[in-house]
Copies of this chain bind each other. A is one copy, B any other.
Amino acid sequence: MTHTIVPNWLRKRADLTPERPAVILHDNIVTFAELDKRAQSVARRLIRMGVHKGDHVALLFPNGLEIIELIHGLEYIGAVMVLLNTRLSAHELAWQIEDANVAHVLYDLSFLEKVQEIRQNHRLPHLAWRTVSEMMEHPETATEELQMEFDLDQTHTIIYTSGTTGYPKGVQLCYGNHWWSAIGSALNLGLHLDDRWLACVPMFHVSGLSILMRSVMYGIAMVVLESFDPKQVNDAIIRQHVTIVSVVSAMLKQMVDELEDSHRRYPETFRCMLLGGGPAPLPILEACKAFDIPIYQTYGMTETASQIVTLSPEYMLQKLGSAGKPLFQAQLQIVQDGEVQKPMQAGEILVKGPNVTKGYWNRADATAHVFTQGWLHTGDIGYLDEDGFLYVLDRRSDLIVSGGENIYPAELEAVLLSHPAILEAGVTGMEDPVWGKIPAAFVKIRPGQIIDEKELKTFCFGKLASYKIPKCFYSVVQLPRNASNKLLRRELLGLVDATGTRKI
């Protein structure tokens, strides 16, 4: 067995198809040759700035050309990129930066305030903070040695995700994970040389990052939007010859509504709406069918470097609620009490494949905990039907997916419990027509204490990203627990109308 070595992807792509568009941002088209030139320039300046092969370099950027150049620039150095969710609080960002052993943070000026907050409140020695302008002050020469080959086992990215414990863990994705994810997707969706993939999901998430990867490997353009706006997204699809879009249910609903209101339709060349973040409700799917929008529902997570299970549109109504079948390179098992389950029997979803992470950064214990002989325990519950289609019943660790962002109850509960008036806390997701789910908190208040909603929200603010702050709070007499006193989050919603419960 030998290491698998491949040429630097962007360099190779620029050599093969230099004139093809790589990035389309508003009316600005950047070809692969231009993108490669920019990425090499970025790499040379970063090297002069002191970034070395293997260094952990955090990026705090909105979608745009800069983060794309930086990602490819860091590939030219062989540095590991830590992609920071720009919506996190200063506190949460500081935690990840420290945990990931980051040597350099590159940030966009729009996040200056957040950066200043981190620098004032957190002692992070030996850490260099730089904007792109500061990076550009470093001259490039032709002498820096760039990484012209990739070893597929080399770590490319660290992206943080939380879990049962509430402590975020850095998922390490190697070059090979990204490669296999992109190839598995191409073997499922096909690959047209005139494809264009719209990125309106953030590139600090694996959903957006994987579009960047596919763009270079496939030689197709990515059409980039800074953020999600249904009209802008629909405009881009209709006017910029987009053929594929990655979205989550909350976005899709707004897009279909906007199409309806503006009496428009997508062009026939639009061929795939890749839908993540949980199964879509029937009304949305039916609306999509009426608009001839081909929906590919998917199931995936950061640990699988994007989708690992996908449902083709011919089954979108026939297999309603299913996430589909595992991609060509992937395998799936339903396991309960160590036994592989038969069709229609529910159990934990285990996945395996070369797109699956080799483990969490600096968390040998957590890594060992979730892997059994190459199989990743997702923590999610589901079953396979008689035809082998996956149905996800419950996301891992009571995960709340809200507008495509993952919210882990344990993380919110830990913050709530740090409030002096709160004795016990439980968080769960509540149905929401726009976001899919929103977090709702149930707290047991210390006798004699009085607390109001505004105070609780203010308390959470700064400690949690805004999207994680519970949208409603309930004071309860008792939290539901099992015999071993473990919180039963799934029973929390039943407390809303219980005796003694009051909305705070």
Contact = CB atoms under 8 A, between A and B. Distances in A.
Interface of A: 1-7, 9, 12-13, 15-16, 149, 153, 176, 183, 186-188, 190-193, 217-219, 325, 328-331, 352-354, 358, 374, 388
Given A187-B217, A190-B192, A219-B187, A6 B353 contact: yes
Given A5-B354, A6-B354, 17 more contacts: A1-B1, A2-B358, A4-B354, A6-B328, A6-B329, A6-B353, A7-B330, A7-B331, A16-B188, A16-B325, A149-B331, A186-B187, A186-B191, A187-B218, A187-B219, A190-B193, A217-B328
B352 A12 contact: no
Q: By CB atoms of chain B within 10 A, which of A187, A217, A325 has the most?
A: A187
Given A186-B186, A187-B219, A217-B187, A328 B4 contact: no
Given A186-B186, A191-B191, A325-B16, A5 B217 contact: no
Contacts of A354: 4-6
Given A16-B325, A329-B6, A353-B6, A1 B153 contact: yes
B12 A328 contact: yes
A413 to B, nearest CB: 36
Contact of A352 (B3, B5, B186, B330): B5
A352 B3 CA distance: 13
23 contacts: A1-B1, A2-B153, A2-B358, A2-B374, A4-B176, A5-B352, A5-B374, A7-B329, A9-B328, A12-B328, A15-B325, A15-B388, A16-B188, A16-B325, A16-B328, A187-B191, A187-B217, A187-B218, A187-B219, A190-B190, A191-B191, A192-B192, A217-B328
A187 B195 CA distance: 12
Contacts of A153: 1-2
Contacts of A9: 328
Contacts of A15: 325, 388
A149 B13 CA distance: 31
Nearest to A218: B187
Given A187-B219, A190-B192, A328-B217, A3 B6 contact: no
A149 B191 CA distance: 26
Instruction: Please give me the 7 A-B residue pairs with the lowest Cβ-Cβ distance, nearest first.
Output: A191-B191, A190-B193, A1-B153, A4-B354, A190-B191, A7-B331, A6-B329
A323 to B, nearest CB: 14
Contacts of A6: 328-329, 353-354
A317 B1 CA distance: 42
A365 B358 CA distance: 36
Nearest to A220: B190
A58 B13 CA distance: 39
Nearest to A154: B1
A12 B332 CA distance: 11
A426 to B, nearest CB: 39
Contacts of A13: 328
Interface centre among A218, A329, A330 (most CB of B within 10 A): A329
A5 B15 CA distance: 31
Most buried by B among A7, A15, A330, A352: A7
A1 B4 CA distance: 10
Contacts of A12: 328
